[in-house]
Amino acid sequence: MQLHLAVIRVQTLAIAAHQWGWSCEQIVQQYGITEAQIDDALGFYTAHRTEIDEAIATEQAIETAGV
């Protein structure tokens, strides 16, 4: 039996899908998760878009600032 545990933030999947333009299949291949998990994550993103987009913007600003 093989057990594969993946902890991937919703915002990572949202960036992959919406900013990088990755298809569901590309995300499946890159992160080793199922399409159902992607659908669930992107559904959560849609429901909490404002908060998640703010978190993404904050992290990108920190990265840009080199903090």
Which residues fall within 8 angstroms of residue 22, CB to CB, at 6 or more apart? 16, 30
Which residues in the chain come in under a pLDDT of 70?
1-6, 67
pLDDT at 7: 82
Instruction: Return the amino acid letter for 62.
Output: I
pTM listed for this prediction: 0.81
pLDDT at 56: 94
User: Following DSSP, what letter does each residue of 21-41 receive, concatenated?
Assistant: ---HHHHHHHH---HHHHHHH
Do the Cβ atoms of 42 and 13 come closer than 8 Å? Answer: yes
pLDDT at 4: 57
pLDDT at 66: 81
pLDDT at 15: 96
- What is the percentage of the chain residues whose pLDDT exceeds 70? 90
